[in-house]
Amino acid sequence: MSARPDLSACLDGQPFEVRVTPRASRNAVAVTPGDPPAIRVRVTAAPERGRANAAVIKLLAKALGVPRSRLELLRGATGRDKTFRVRD
């Protein structure tokens, strides 16, 4: 089992960028440390009718340890580069 990625910098309510790869071979979250951290999310879902976005939100919420309802998609609903924020 892989270790949970460190996404603690994303919990401060500030927007953070995510690069999404739909139709991947497996679901995964990868973080490259930095300020801000580079976050890549791979999901097996196809980018049709919001399925990939729903999979990304579910995966990010689990990695962050927050409920899905606290994640807010600010930008990029139809693109690979997305901006999220964790609501208070």
- pLDDT-derived band at 15 (thresholds 50, 70, 90) equals very high
Residue 2 counted as domain residue: no
Is residue 1 one of the residues assigned to a domain?
A: no
Q: How far apart are CA 72 and CA 46, in angstroms?
A: 20
Average pLDDT over the chain, rounded to an integer:
90
Cα–Cα distance between 60 and 68 in angstroms, integer?
Answer: 8
Look up residue 9 and give its DSSP letter: G
Tell me, what's the pLDDT at 60? Answer: 95
Q: Is residue 8 part of a domain?
A: no
Domain with 24 in it: 14-86
Answer yes or no: is 73 within a domain: yes
Residue type, 60: L
Q: Does residue 6 form part of some domain?
A: no
Residue 70 lies in a domain: yes
- Exposure string of 34-51, with b = 16+ CB inside 10 Å and e = fewer, is eeebebebbbebebeeee
CATH of the domain at 23: 3.30.1200.10
Number of domains in the chain: 1
